[in-house]
């Protein structure tokens, strides 16, 4: 069997690797040309929770991911006054003790793409898919240059603004702006790294923004800022320099206790003005020989901490569903039955987390007492177990026949 996987970020190459393990050959189509060197340093850091790591283990890439990630065991929640509001583990570690791993998003995408190539999977750069069609016997992707590619199935792993989603359902919903813009940076060789708890995210519910910082074993601190505001238009983004953004972010944090302002002022911005979206409910997941995975299907707000992990789970579950089915449409139906309830619940969790980052009319500080209660009784290690303790596997089995 042959598959076309549209999207070369994280979900795309992970899906290709998983499909290969059940005997389905995949070609990954990525619209952007590959960036090496300095261009690869652009972007933000994120954490792959243990449930996502189990998917990396299933496709044989966990050991590689350990090489680019920093162990993350705890999330520490602080108020604008500097008071500790609560602590929650970063997820139930794997059976061998591996905790969540924090890494740069682009580095994980690069790792998965390189591993796919090393296993004989073609990852074609600069191949922008403009439309996809399906009939009883095949699926066809049309590229921007007018060429057409045919396969037994097409998987849309092309993100929250997916082109393939429109092929599955022309009336499918679009992405929903969650009210937050995102910025990410790194402060290198700073003494502040030793003042932060190791293997932990240090989160601050600030008066005017939400801040997160994570010390690395190398003595750096990676950080992000979520700013409640209207969407940033392309013109504003183009007209604002990194220095101007950094100055604005430092001013937003100036009245909050903790290291946020100092880290921002001494750091370098690697991601600026990124509007954040989610995708809460997609009525139609597949049509004929076309299906969706990852953010193209169920994008959670970044506040959930589950976007990449959900995409990695999808890759494994889709491959397993196709392996166990008698036909491609049946495999897609099995995938939806296995996944819909879980992923939509996680998107709802992410939406609630995003709303908690936006100070209301009362203001942040008066709410700190209530937030301490929330982190003591509602958002706990036990309450998160269903999410991060979930495990996916992909055992060897006969591959799906053409159908």
Query: Which residues neighbour 83 within 8 Å (Cβ) at sequence distance 6 or greater?
Result: 368, 372
The mean predicted confidence, pLDDT, of the chain is 92
Q: Label residue 273 by pLDDT band (50, 70, 90).
A: very high
pLDDT for residue 363: 64
For the stretch 175-207, what's the b/e string if a residue is b when 16 or more beta carbons lie within 10 angstroms of its beta carbon?
bbebbbbbbbbbbeebebbeebeebbbbbbbbb
Task: Give the tens place of pLDDT for each residue, 376-385.
Answer: 877 788 888 9
Task: Give the tens place of pLDDT for each residue, 100-133.
Answer: 999 999 999 999 999 999 999 999 999 999 999 9
pTM: 0.93
Task: Give the tens place of pLDDT for each residue, 137-192.
Answer: 999 999 999 999 999 999 999 999 999 999 999 999 999 999 999 999 999 999 99
pLDDT for residue 398: 46
Q: Label residue 362 by pLDDT band (50, 70, 90).
A: low
pLDDT for residue 361: 54
Structure token digits, residue 114: 């390189």
Q: Label residue 268 by pLDDT band (50, 70, 90).
A: very high
pLDDT for residue 349: 87
Residue 358 has pLDDT above 70, yes or no: no
Q: What is the DSSP string of 71-119?
A: EE-EEEEEETTS-EEEEEES-PPPTT---EEEEEHHHHHHHHHHHHHHT
pLDDT for residue 36: 56
Task: Give the tens place of pLDDT for each residue, 245-262.
Answer: 999 999 999 999 999 999
Please give the share of the chain, as a percent, with pLDDT higher than 70.
Answer: 93
Higher-confidence residue of 301 and 121: namely 121
Task: Give the tens place of pLDDT for each residue, 195-217.
Answer: 999 999 999 999 999 999 999 99
Please give the share of the chain, as a percent, with pLDDT higher than 90.
Answer: 83
CA contacts within 13 A on the Cβ side of 319:
34
Residue 290 has pLDDT above 90, yes or no: yes
Rounded to whole angstroms, the Cα distance separating 259 from 262 reads 5
Mean pLDDT value of segment 344-363: 75
SS3 5: strand
Q: Angle at the Cα of 149 (from 133 to 174), degrees rounded to 5?
A: 45
Mean pLDDT value of segment 60-82: 96
Residue 97, φ and ψ in degrees, nearest 5:
95, 0
């Amino acid at each position: 069997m042959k598959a076309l996987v549209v999207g070369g970020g994280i979900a795309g190459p992970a899906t290709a690797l998983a499909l290969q393990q059940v005997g389905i050959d995949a070609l990954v189509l990525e619209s952007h040309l590959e960036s090496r060197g300095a261009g690869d340093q652009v972007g933000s850091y994120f954490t792959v929770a243990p449930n996502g790591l189990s998917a990396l283990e299933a496709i044989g890439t966990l050991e590689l991911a350990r090489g680019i990630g920093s162990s993350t065991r705890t999330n520490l929640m602080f108020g604008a006054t500097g008071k500790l509001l609560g602590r929650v583990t970063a997820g139930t570690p794997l059976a061998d003790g591996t905790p969540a791993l924090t890494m740069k998003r682009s580095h994980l995408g690069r790792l998965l793409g390189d591993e796919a190539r090393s296993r004989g999977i073609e990852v074609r750069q600069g191949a922008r898919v403009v439309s996809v069609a399906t009939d009883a016997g095949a699926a066809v992707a049309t590229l921007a240059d007018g060429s057409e590619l045919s396969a037994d199935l097409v998987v849309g792993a092309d993100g929250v603004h997916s082109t393939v989603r429109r092929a599955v359902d022309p009336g499918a919903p679009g992405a929903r702006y969650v009210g937050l813009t995102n910025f990410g940076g790194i402060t290198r060789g700073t003494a502040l790294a030793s003042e932060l708890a190791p293997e932990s995210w240090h989160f601050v519910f600030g008066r005017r923004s939400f801040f997160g910082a994570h010390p690395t074993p190398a003595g750096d601190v990676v950080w992000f800022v979520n700013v409640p505001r209207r969407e940033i238009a392309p013109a504003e983004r183009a007209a604002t320099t990194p220095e101007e953004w950094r100055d604005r972010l430092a001013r937003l944090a100036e009245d909050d206790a903790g290291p946020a302002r100092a880290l921002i002022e001494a750091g370098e911005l690697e991601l600026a003005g990124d509007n954040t979206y989610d995708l809460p409910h997609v009525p139609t997941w597949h049509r004929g020989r076309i299906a969706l995975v990852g953010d193209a299907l169920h994008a959670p707000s970044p506040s959930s901490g589950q976007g990449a992990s959900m995409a990695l789970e999808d890759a494994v579950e889709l491959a397993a569903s196709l392996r166990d089915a008698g036909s491609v449409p049946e495999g897609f139906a099995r995938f939806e039955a296995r996944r819909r309830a879980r992923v939509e619940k996680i998107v709802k969790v992410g939406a609630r987390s995003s709303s908690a980052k936006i100070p209301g009319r009362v203001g942040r500080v008066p709410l700190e007492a209530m937030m301490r209660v929330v982190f003591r009784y509602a958002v706990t290690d036990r309450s998160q177990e269903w999410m991060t303790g979930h495990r996916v596997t992909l055992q060897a089995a006969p591959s799906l026949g053409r159908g």
